């Protein structure tokens, strides 16, 4: 009986021991994230349109294409200093630009294949209103239902991360859906 009484007392006391009055701190201006507030919180780049993949029907996708532009009104971005990292479930690789940054890329490379609304003389700077269509060619092809991440980092500014999944059946032209 005494042992039961001791256990009952311990159980009651254990439930009442934690009487902390510590409350989480109130948010301050440094901890509140205001959408579009701090330019360092968002990328200067954004995707326009679909992310597509060129594939072999019933097989795999080799090339992935997307169109980049500047988000809102930002300073231009030097595309020669752009870093593109591709990752899937098995590998992560940093893709290199093709010579001159323009052209169809071989495996392990990326290239600018089209420029829309080009401002001034042809160059490798992405300015406001311009759109650069980029094709990447990872070293390993994309298989059906595979998740991928493409991280695009300008020299100055936050990176833009694209997350997509391959369709269940690969066609010649494919739209990679958000994951």
Write the pLDDT tens digit of every residue in 29-51. 333 333 444 555 678 999 999 99
Confidence band of 20 (pLDDT split at 50, 70, 90): very low
Confidence band of 1 (pLDDT split at 50, 70, 90): low
Query: Which distant-in-sequence residues (6+ apart) come within 8 Å of 30 by Cβ?
Result: none
More confident call, 18 vs 150: 150
Task: Give first-to-last CA distance, the chain, whole Å.
Answer: 61
* Strand runs labelled E in 23-119: 45-55, 61-70, 77-78, 83-87, 92-102, 109-116
The pLDDT of 81-107, averaged and rounded, is 95
Under a CB-based contact definition with an 8 Å cutoff, are residues 134 and 68 in contact? Answer: yes
pLDDT score of 2: 56
The predicted model scores a pTM of 0.76
Confidence band of 119 (pLDDT split at 50, 70, 90): confident
């Amino acid at each position: 009986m005494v042992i039961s009484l001791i256990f009952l007392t311990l159980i009651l006391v254990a439930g009442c021991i934690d009487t902390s009055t510590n409350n989480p701190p109130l948010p301050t201006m440094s901890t509140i994230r205001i959408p579009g507030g701090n330019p360092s919180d968002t990328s200067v780049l954004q995707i326009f349109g679909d992310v597509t993949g060129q594939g072999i029907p019933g097989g795999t996708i080799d090339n992935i294409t997307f169109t980049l532009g500047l988000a809102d009104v930002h300073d231009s971005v030097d595309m020669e200093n752009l870093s593109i990292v591709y990752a899937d479930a098995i590998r992560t690789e940093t893709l290199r630009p093709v010579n001159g940054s323009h052209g169809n890329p071989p495996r392990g490379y990326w290239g600018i294949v089209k420029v829309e609304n080009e401002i001034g003389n042809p160059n490798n700077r992405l300015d406001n209103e311009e759109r650069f269509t980029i094709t990447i060619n990872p070293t390993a092809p994309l298989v059906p239902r595979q998740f991928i991440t493409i991280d695009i980092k300008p020299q100055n500014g936050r990176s833009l991360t694209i997350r997509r999944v391959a369709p269940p059946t690969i066609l010649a032209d494919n739209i990679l859906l958000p994951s």
